[in-house]
Structure formats: C-alpha cells, structure tokens
Amino acid sequence: LLREERKAKRIAELLQNDEESEKLIQAAAVERSKQLNTTVQGKYSVWRREYSNPNSDSLLKLMKDQVIMAKAYASIARAKKENTLYDSLMTCIKKNRNALGEALSDAELHP
C-alpha cells in the first residue's frame, strides 16, 4: 500500500516537472523565433537560372545532345548493316548541324 502511494506521488511529481520544463522550452523557442531574421538576401527563384537569362542556351544544348545521340544510333545502325536507317540518320544530322551553325545561344538559332 505504501509502495503504491509513493509511486503515485512520484508520478505526479514527474508530471508536474514535465509541464514546467515544457513551458520553459516553449518560451525559449518563442524567444528564438522572434530573434530569427527571415528576410531574403539576394535573388531567390525556384526556376533554373537559364530561364531568367534571356540569352539562354537550353534549346541549343538539347539540339546538340540530340545530334550526339543520332550519331550513336547511326553507328549502331551501320554496325547492324541497316543502311537505310544509317543514311536517314546521317541526313538528319547534317540538317541539324546546318540549323545549329555557329550558334552560341537560343537567340542565334535560325528559324
């Protein structure tokens, strides 16, 4: 009987301490949040930098990557003796190279 009373008393004491420490922690957190500087420094955007740049070259990079892939497929087609596929890929590669020319950005691409 005494053991149960001591146990109940100890539990009540611990719960009281937990509530007090919880209040102290919350008060400290509120103070820290008041001191936090939430201003944004510099430019922040969720979009890639290329989209904010008017002289972007993302389309140019995509086209060059496609030419590289076409070359790879052409070499595979030639190895498999698929001459018609090889020839059509090579003509497309030439057309794309002419369209790309010496362009360094999307704006310099010929329509």
pLDDT tens digits, 9-32: 888 887 777 777 778 878 888 888
Q: CA 77, 79, 83: angle at the middle one, nearest 5?
A: 50
Nearest to 93 by CA among 77, 105, 108, 81: 77
Residues 72, 29 within the same domain: no
Residues 61, 97 within the same domain: yes
pTM confidence score: 0.47
| Structural domain boundaries, residue 76 | 55-108
Residues 103, 62 within the same domain: yes
Q: How many domains does the chain have?
A: 2
Residues 4, 31 within the same domain: yes
| pLDDT greater at residue 51 or residue 95 | 95
pLDDT band at 110 (very low <50, low <70, confident <90, very high): low
Is residue 78, in this structure, part of any structural domain at all?
yes
Is residue 47, in this structure, part of any structural domain at all?
no
Is residue 82, in this structure, part of any structural domain at all?
yes
Residues 61, 102 within the same domain: yes
Task: Please report, as a single letter, which amino acid is at residue 93.
Answer: I
**CA separation for the pair 111, 103 (Å, rounded):** 12
